[in-house]
């Protein structure tokens, strides 16, 4: 199956205009991505590029686009396409209005959750985190789906005796655990599929990967679907509590992978923050001393809570 065949199949099944991110997410959920003959490390970007070029350069393209970036794509064969486009535009306006209203209700921004996760990861996962600034990537157009928002590392240095640490280094088995985190201010049923498969795309290279949110809509259907996806793909889910970080919890644990995806990690070195993270881990293992100042700052709980008041 080619990328364009995958897109055509997804659009035929959904019968609505869709963004390329949602086309790819749906394809992953249905397992169509496994049928695509591609060895690239950014298949979602390849899919987007091929659809854009096909619509632009091929007069016989089965695809058409509507809206501004990010555009939504549909099949020319759709019936009542004018009605579908009008409906899609109305839904987009409605979505923006709802998001603006929710944002006013919740005063904090997504980036402010980073300090809460750093606190939770340090005290409850016992790992040191590093925030990944997407703007530091050499290929910024791939940033959203390539890089996680934060990464972390658990070191056995503080738990093992010096003799065990030395032996583990000698035999080449330091037993570290690397985490990948994708943060979202709020997860609802409306954005679940897109944010979940964004996490699948940019986090499964690690030993453990998590979708992290500050808010989770109180919806039984949402929680059931989140549990199903977590079980199927091994992605953990963390719910942060900005009012009391100690009440943050792992709703669904990540499935631990014994092996790291080195090829994908090499791809991530296009980002300076990630490269520095790897260098720091290597230096700390060699010196058997964790230089905490090189990782995200752990803010005192009282000061952390005060930030959100």
User: Where do the structural domains in the chain lie, given as residue ranges?
Assistant: 3-104, 110-306
**pLDDT tens-digit profile of 119-153?**
999 999 999 999 998 766 665 444 455 789 999 99
Instruction: Identify the bridge partners of residue 73 per DSSP, sorted by sequence position.
Output: 18, 65
Q: What is the pLDDT of residue 25?
A: 84
Share of the chain above pLDDT 90, in %: 35
173 vs 141, higher pLDDT: 173
Q: What value does the mean pLDDT take over residues 254-267?
A: 90
pTM for the full model? 0.69
CATH among 1.10.10, 1.10.760, 1.10.3470, 3.40.50 for 3-104: 1.10.10
**pLDDT tens-digit profile of 202-211?**
888 999 999 9
Q: What value does the mean pLDDT take over residues 16-37?
A: 86
Q: What value does the mean pLDDT take over residues 222-230?
A: 89
Does 192 score more than 80 pLDDT?
A: yes
Q: What is the pLDDT of residue 145?
A: 58
């Amino acid at each position: 199956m080619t990328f364009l065949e995958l897109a055509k199949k997804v659009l035929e099944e959904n019968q609505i205009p869709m963004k390329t991110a949602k086309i790819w997410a749906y394809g992953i959920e249905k397992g169509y991505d496994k049928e695509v003959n591609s060895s690239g490390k950014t298949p979602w970007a390849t899919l987007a590029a091929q659809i854009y070029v096909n619509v632009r350069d091929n007069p016989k393209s089965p695809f058409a686009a509507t809206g501004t970036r990010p555009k939504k794509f549909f099949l020319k064969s759709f019936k009542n396409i004018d009605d579908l486009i009008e409906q899609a535009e109305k839904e987009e306006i409605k979505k923006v209005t709802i998001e603006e209203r929710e944002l006013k209700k919740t005063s904090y921004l997504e980036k402010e959750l980073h300090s809460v996760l750093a606190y939770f990861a340090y005290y409850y996962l016992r790992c040191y985190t590093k925030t990944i600034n997407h703007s530091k990537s050499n290929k910024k157009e791939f940033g959203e789906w390539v890089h996680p928002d934060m990464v972390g590392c658990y070191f056995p240095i503080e738990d093992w005796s010096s003799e065990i640490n030395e032996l583990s280094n000698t035999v080449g088995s330091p037993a570290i655990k690397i985490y990948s985190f994708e943060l979202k201010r709020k997860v609802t049923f409306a954005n679940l599929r897109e944010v979940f498969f964004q996490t699948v795309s940019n986090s499964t290279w690690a030993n453990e990967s998590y979708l992290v949110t500050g808010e989770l809509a109180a919806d039984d259907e949402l929680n059931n679907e989140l549990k199903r996806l977590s079980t199927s793909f091994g992605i953990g889910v963390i719910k942060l509590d900005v009012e009391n970080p100690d009440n943050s919890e792992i709703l669904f644990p990540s499935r631990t992978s014994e092996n790291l995806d080195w090829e994908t990690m090499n791809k991530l070195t296009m980002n300076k923050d990630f490269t520095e993270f790897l260098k720091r881990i290597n230096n700390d293992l060699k010196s058997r001393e964790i230089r905490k100042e090189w990782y995200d700052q752990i803010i005192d709980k009282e000061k952390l809570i005060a930030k959100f008041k």
